[in-house]
Each structure stands twice: as structure tokens, then as C-alpha cells.
Amino acid sequence: MASGHSNYTPSNGLTRWLDERLPIIRFANDNLLSFPTPKNLNYWYTFGAILFYCLVIQIVTGIVLAMHFVPNSALAFSSVEYIMRDVNYGWMLRYMHMNGASFFFIAVYVHMSRGLYYGSYKAPREILWILGVIIYLLMMATGFLGYTLPWSQMSLWGANVITNLLGAVLGQDFTQWLWGGFSVDNPTLQRFFSLHYLLPFVILGVSVLHVWALHHVGNNNPTGIDPKGPQDTVPLMPYYTAKYYFVITLFTIAFAVFVFFAPNLLGHADHYVEGNPLKTPTHIAPEWFLGAFYAMLRAIDFNLILDSKILGVLVMLGAIGILFIVPWLDTSRVRSANYRPVYWWCFWIFCADFAMLSWVGLQPAGTVLVQMGVAADGSPTGLNVTHLAQIGTLYYFAFFLVIMPLLGLFETPRTLPESIAQSVLKRGGAGTPAGAAAAPETRI
Amino acid sequence: MSAASHDDVSRRDFLYVFSGAAAGVGVAVTAWPFIDQMNPSAAVQALAATEVDLTPIQDGQQITVMWQGKPTWVRKRTQAEIDEVRAMPDSELKDPEADQDRVKKPEWLVVIGICTHLGCIPNRDNSKQPGGYLCACHGSVYDASGRILHGPAPANLPVPPYQFVSDTLIRIG
């Protein structure tokens, strides 16, 4: 859309001189100012901008935290406490970084759900979607690595569980290579710190590719039909930049509420106990944003051809990996769920399912929710979180592997509007109403 | 370039293949140190074997020592506990192994106390198995021989290499 349609004209000798040598102003103009954007984008389409804002918050707070943090197993925990107590505004910077990660994931889940709802992964946006999945994977890796750095009980044992997960599939030699020893110890912490510092910049790089792909094919929109001409689009500046400023302000207010009034609401008390390799906390919980995948791992408590341990890991990795092939699993040619009555329900059930799995993943293993009896040893039995996790995992995979391919063949979509402009006008938006006078200024 | 003869072409092909191969080997050789630096260093590998004095350990008591950074249990089992694990039928075991093969002396159990599921440390807990262990993370249950009974863990708690230096001293490693 944007490529090859530059409307930039250098205004003076200096910018003309620069434009012939490095057309950077032209680039910014074409991509940030005059970029033609469908005129019907709603607020769900502002989360890409919010995500960039989150990345900036994480990189800036992270860089300054690294000026005080010590990546050494003997000192890491106390250096975090030092940041909290002694460093000027250290508490605020760390709470911003901690909650920033959570808000980053809230935003990315909204952003991805938006893509699933409006079919934004369908041709020609497959690469755009895949780059997004890669960013999501990198975010999860970065979030996990960051969680280990304070070297608390949660850090240490979270690192243990996750590295052993990879070891279950890749073997003991791999785990020792990853640890740099025979257990999670100082070498592990130092390399995790190095990688935690590196990955955000990799995320930034892939995000540039993501936006490049977006600006090459253009935005999808709530109708899912392509813009047919200038009447269907508006320039990014000021129409959507104004919208971005507004939602980023709201987002910042919500963020500030957490940072200043509930900084540990999303955390865990054991994150403030120094790591002890001799004592596992009674209950290891991942960060909430990894809860769904952790629930799927724990859902597999039975052998099925493969051993339950390897199967659990494969199911968990498969749950992420399956996102890569979503563009080819969905057989419907209609993009937007607004015009797909059955998919609409399946999508919202999927969102509820993912939320339930995220919650289940944070509960202690085997917690009984609805008691139906008593076991021989006196402990209650009945519907427990593992059953919920199994049901949730089943739907998660069924959504992608059964519903998406089959709905395209059996569902009757609603009639699509003729154009974006028409769909906007139908909703009583701007434009000339049918009954309005042709020339009101002459009518006295 | 003058008219290319057959000889010129084959010499050029040789150069392509040779320089490509040299670059490939060069990249691999250069990459190896960057990969291998992550493996356990000499200092980590030099961790000495751990010696454990058994005299203070009472009947039924268990102590935890560190061996290669891993919590390792040394437990003096009571006769009742020994009888129970030795009477356990194979059908109850997920990873069948005789208790006799897991200990050097019946009363002394030496195992690495790391759950074979995902690396948590199980606790002594009688609620699921008398004299056994329960991993709080994902609910694996082990018996008083460190053998997996139920739960997601696939294997028994590993027995580290150790020997009795004397009746009251063992060396692990």
C-alpha cells in the first residue's frame, strides 16, 4: 500500500539535499504520517502502538536496572533489595519493569485476539502473523529469563522446572550445557542475564520486520475486505495517531495504578524469599502470562504412546507451535468474525478457554474444585484443576485443528459490505445522509 | 574476460567449492568455542566428591548433603520401612527396580533428591505413601526406596555413585 506511493516533497534546499542522499524524512513521512489506513479501524487496532510503547518502557527501565543489578548467585537477590531500598527511585523503576512485563502481555494477548477475531492472519498477511508469533515467543523467553534474575525461590525453581522441561525433550547433555553445571547455579544466572539483556533488542528487530510487512500489505480492518481506493482510507496522521495518544494515556493510567498502588498484585510472595537449592516452595507458579501453557503441560498426566513427561512437553510446545500454521488451518475465505456467525462463538469460547487455562496454571497441582468423594487416605476427590486443564487443552487444540479447517467448509457467512466506505456510512457515520438537501446553503 | 575455456571453468568451480568449504569449516571451528563455553567449566567440574559421616544419623532419620550442586539424601531406614519396600509388588511400580539393586546396605538409602519429573525437591510425606516422598510441584509419589509409585514423574530417584569408605563413612561421587 505504502510502497511506491510517496507523496513527500522536500520543502527546502537542505531537505532536498538530504532526500537525495538518505531519504529518511521521506521514509518517516510515508510510514508514520501519510500512510493510508482503512477509515474503519476500531480501538482494538491501537494495541500495536501500545505494544511499541511497552517495549520502550521495558528497554528503558531495564537498561537503568542493569546499572544496579549484580548477576551473581550470591549477590543477585540482595542487589534487587538494594534497588528496592537504596537506589533513588529504584523501587519505582523495578515496579515499572515488573508490571511492565505483565502489561506487555495483556496488550499482546489483546493484539493477538484481535488478529484471530478479524482473520488478520489470512492472505496476504501470513508472514506478518508469523513474525508476530516469533515476537510472542521471544517475549515469553525474555519474560521467563527476567523472572529468574532476582534469584528468589520462584526464580530458582521456575528456572529448574523450565530448563528440565527442555531437558525432557533434548536430553541431559543439553540441560548441563544450558546450566553450565550440574544444577541451576551461578553460571546459569549469568548467561540468563546476558540473554535477558539481548532478547529485547531482537524483539525490536523482529518488530521492525513486522511493521515492514504490515506497511507492505496494509492494515486489515473490521470488515475484513480490502480498501478499494482513497475513499476507504485516511492518513495515519492525525486520524490514528490521535487515537494512539488517547489509548496510550488510558493505558498509562491503568499501568500507574498497578505500579503505585498494587505493584505485587500479579506477583507471588515467594518471589521475595531468597533462592534455596535445598528447598522447593510448596507451590511453584509461573508468571500469569505463562499460566495457560503450564496448565497444558500439567494436563498430560497419562501415557499415550509416549511417556507422559515428554508428551506434556510436546503438547505445551505444540500449543505455541500451532500458532505458526494458523493461516493455513483456517479454510474460510471470509476474514472477519463479524460476518462468521459460528466462528464468532468458537472464538469467544476460545478466549474464555485460554483465560481458564491461565488461571488453572497458577493453581496448585490437583486442587479439588468440586468435591465428590473422599479417597482412602482421607483426602477429597472430585473435579480438580487437572480435569479442567484437560478439558481446556482439548478445546485449545480442537479450535485450531478441527474448528478452523471445518468451519470454512460448512459455515454460511453473512453478506459482506460492498466497501469499507459503505460499511462506515451504514452505521450512521460521516457522509451525506440520504434525505439531506443537495445544496442546503441555497435553501432559504 | 576472454573466451572462457573448459579449463577456466573447472578452475573457477574448484575455487568456489574450495572457498565455500573453507568458509564452512572456518565458521564451524569458530562457532564451537562460542557454544562450548556454555558447558560446565573446569571449576564446576572439579567439584570434589562429597564425604558423609553416618554416625550422627539415627534410625528413620534423613540428612541432605550437596553433591555437584544437587541435594542428595542419606537416609537410615527402619526395619519396617525396609520390609515394606521389599514387599512391594512390581505391579505397583512405574519403573520397576528391586530395592536390593538400589542400596549397598539395606538400612542406608542414598538417592539424589530431585524429582525426575521437572526437578523439584520432593518432601518426606506419609500422606500418600507411608515412609515415602511427595513432590509438591506436580504430585509425584515415591516410596521409601525412592521409587516412583504414581504421578507424572517417569523414573525412580537416581542413585548417585558412592562407596562405603568404612562402616560409618561414605564417599559420593
Inter-chain CB proximity B119 and A191 less than 8 Å: no
Inter-chain CB proximity A278 and B41 less than 8 Å: no
A307: which chain B residues are within 8 Å (Cβ-Cβ)?
Answer: 154
Which pLDDT tens digit goes with each residue over B69-115? 889 999 999 999 999 889 888 888 888 999 999 999 999 999 999 99
Inter-chain CB proximity A278 and B117 less than 8 Å: no
B69: which chain A residues are within 8 Å (Cβ-Cβ)?
Answer: 181-183, 185, 277
Cβ pair A142, A214 in contact under 8 A? no
Partners of A371 in beta bridges: A382
- Cβ partners under 8 Å of residue A335, min gap 6: A118, A119, A120, A122, A220, A224, A225
Task: Find cell 501500545 and name the residue.
Answer: A50
The grid coordinates listed for B159 are: 542413585
* ipTM of model: 0.73
Maximum CA pair distance of chain A?
92
DSSP A231-296: GGEEEHHHHHHHHHHHHHHHHHHHHHHHHHH-TTTTS-GGGGSB--TT---SS----GGGHHHHHH
- Res B91: pLDDT: 85
Residues 82-121 of B with CB under 8 A from A: 117-121
State percent of chain B over pLDDT 90: 53
Residue type, B125: D
b/e sequence A121-145, b meaning 16+ C-beta within 10 Å: bbeebbbbbbbbbbbbbbbbbbbbb
Angle at A334 between CA A328 and CA A337, to 5 degrees: 100
Residue A308: strand, helix, or coil? helix
Residue type, A233: T
Cα separation, A222 vs A127, whole angstroms: 20
Cα separation, A213 vs A123, whole angstroms: 12
Catalytic residue positions of B, numbered: 138
Tens digits of pLDDT across chain B (173 residues): 455 555 567 888 888 999 999 999 999 999 999 999 999 888 888 776 888 999 999 998 999 998 888 899 999 999 999 998 898 888 888 889 999 999 999 999 999 999 988 788 898 888 888 889 998 877 889 999 999 998 888 889 999 999 999 999 999 98
For residue A378, is pLDDT > 70? no
The grid coordinates listed for B60 are: 528413620
Domain ranges of chain A: 29-279, 285-413
Give B82→chain A minimum CA distance, Å. Answer: 22
Residue A359: strand, helix, or coil? helix
Give the closest of B40, B69, B153 to A277, CB-based.
B69
Cα dihedral sign for A28, A30, A32, A34? positive
The answer, for A182 touching chain B at a CB cutoff of 8 Å, is: yes
Cα separation, A220 vs A218, whole angstroms: 7
For residue A430, is pLDDT > 70? no
Neighbours of A99 (CB within 10 A): 24
Cβ pair A143, A100 in contact under 8 A? no
- CATH number listed for the domain at residues A29-279: 1.20.810.10
The answer, for B40 touching chain A at a CB cutoff of 8 Å, is: yes
B35: which chain A residues are within 8 Å (Cβ-Cβ)?
Answer: 177
A303 → chain B, closest CA residue: B152
Q: What are phi and psi of B72, to 5 degrees?
A: -125, 130
Residue A362: strand, helix, or coil? coil
- Cβ partners under 8 Å of residue B78, min gap 6: B59, B60, B107
For residue A280, is pLDDT > 90? no
For residue A356, is pLDDT > 90? yes
A181: which chain B residues are within 8 Å (Cβ-Cβ)?
Answer: 40, 44, 68-69
- Res A377: pLDDT: 60
| Banded pLDDT at A427 (limits 50, 70, 90) | low
The answer, for A163 touching chain B at a CB cutoff of 8 Å, is: yes
